[in-house]
């Protein structure tokens, strides 16, 4: 019946795979054939011996199997991964209007590369490899990605691996960062410059957060800027200053950019200077404390507040605490907005679902004594696609609302 390594899973896991999910947990496996090694690509069968898909196996991980394909005829060689690369890049060219200058080229499971992130910042590629199976096959994938981009006329000068994410430990992988050596790629670049929405940024892809710059808010920043003309804006958790700069250059009267990190403020200042912006000021302070201070002083000096906090939860165990954190920060913001003021607020945590986020916003609004008039609801940019059946790929919620 089977000529490749395989596992047999229980009915619960089978039902989820049939509904489009692509993970199998260790406790869902009923039988494992002899000889399987971690990192192998194995076939998955139901109890009735029906083929369900093929994927990476790793018994060291809670997610023991991550599906790559539901096609029993697939051969997982260099040509297979080259096709996957082409599909991923061609998708971005379609949804980003042909602009691949600053783009997430690979978004893990959503592109059939479980645990792989690849961002493009101009001529620089930055990757994160978070599964053993892909770590073992990166020498098939990275050259294919570079070559396909070059064939499309993209200049690729550097690929840097940001494998400093703790999730690698769950796969039995070490943390590391390194330049990838291939066909004349540089091993000396430490930062690059990009232009997004007409705004220039320095990107520190070695020391910056994640891969160096958050591309998923690209279109949300543009939407936020559309509300900014004539407004006095407070941009909370500014990081590299992206929302602040979009608003400042979008016609805001003034913008105050706030972050608790001095390094972030320094980077935001550098980006402001790079764009010749003179209607911004900067505060290195705790956002929660600042909003408390403004409320205590009854200072309603901002008529537009932007909240782009880091993820308050990365697991189901901390969702309740995260809910309270989001509620607290949004309540504080609503209390200092004047009637008719604007709020742009978001969550980048998958575990904080949209239903929970809306519930939180309503509770915060009621406690603040305001109503929120929703102008826009948005998600991550389309180069971070949502794969139906895999809710983990849907993570960013972004709302623009007026307090009335």
Any idea which residues carry the catalytic annotation?
348
Encode burial over 153-191: b for 16+ CB neighbours within 10 A, e otherwise: ebebebbbbbbeeeebeebebeeeeeebeeeebeeeeee
Alpha carbons 147 and 169: distance in angstroms, whole number: 30
Residue 128 has φ and ψ, to the nearest 5°, of -135, 120
């Amino acid at each position: 019946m089977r000529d490749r390594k395989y596992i047999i899973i229980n009915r619960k896991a089978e039902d989820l795979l049939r509904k489009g999910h692509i993970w199998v947990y260790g406790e869902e496996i009923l039988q494992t054939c002899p000889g399987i090694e971690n990192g192998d690509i194995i076939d998955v069968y139901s109890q009735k011996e029906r083929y369900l898909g093929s994927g990476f196996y790793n018994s060291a991980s809670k997610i023991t199997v991550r599906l790559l394909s539901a096609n029993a005829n697939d051969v997982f060689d260099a040509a297979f991964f080259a096709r996957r690369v082409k599909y991923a890049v061609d998708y971005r060219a379609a949804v980003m209007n042909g602009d691949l200058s600053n783009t997430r080229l690979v978004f893990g499971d959503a592109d059939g590369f479980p645990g792989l992130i690849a961002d493009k910042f101009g001529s620089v590629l930055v990757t994160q490899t978070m599964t053993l199976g892909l770590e073992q096959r990166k020498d098939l994938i990275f050259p294919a990605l570079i070559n396909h981009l070059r064939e499309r006329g993209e200049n690729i000068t550097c690929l840097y691996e940001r494998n400093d994410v703790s999730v690698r430990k769950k796969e039995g992988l070490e943390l590391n960062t390194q330049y990838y050596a291939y066909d004349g790629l540089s091993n000396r670049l430490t930062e690059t410059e990009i232009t997004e929405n007409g705004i220039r940024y320095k990107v520190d892809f070695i020391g910056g957060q994640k891969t160096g710059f958050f591309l998923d808010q690209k279109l949300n920043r543009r939407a936020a800027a559309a509300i900014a003309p004539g407004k006095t804006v407070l941009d909370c958790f500014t990081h590299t200053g992206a929302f602040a700069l979009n608003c400042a250059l979008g016609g805001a009267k003034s913008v105050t950019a706030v972050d608790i990190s001095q390094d972030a403020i320094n980077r935001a200042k550098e980006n402001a200077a790079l764009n010749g912006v003179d209607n911004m000021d900067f505060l290195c302070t705790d956002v929660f404390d600042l909003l408390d201070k403004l409320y205590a002083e009854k200072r309603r000096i901002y008529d537009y507040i932007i909240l782009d906090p880091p993820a308050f939860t990365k697991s189901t165990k901390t969702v309740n605490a995260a809910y309270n954190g989001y509620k607290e920060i949004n309540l504080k913001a609503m209390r200092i907005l004047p009637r008719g003021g604007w709020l742009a607020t978001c969550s980048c945590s998958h575990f904080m679902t949209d239903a929970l986020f809306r519930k939180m916003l309503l509770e915060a609004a009621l406690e603040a004594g305001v109503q929120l008039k929703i102008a826009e609801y948005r998600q991550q940019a389309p180069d971070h696609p949502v794969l139906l059946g895999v809710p983990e790929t849907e993570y960013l919620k972004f709302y623009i609302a007026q307090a009335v």
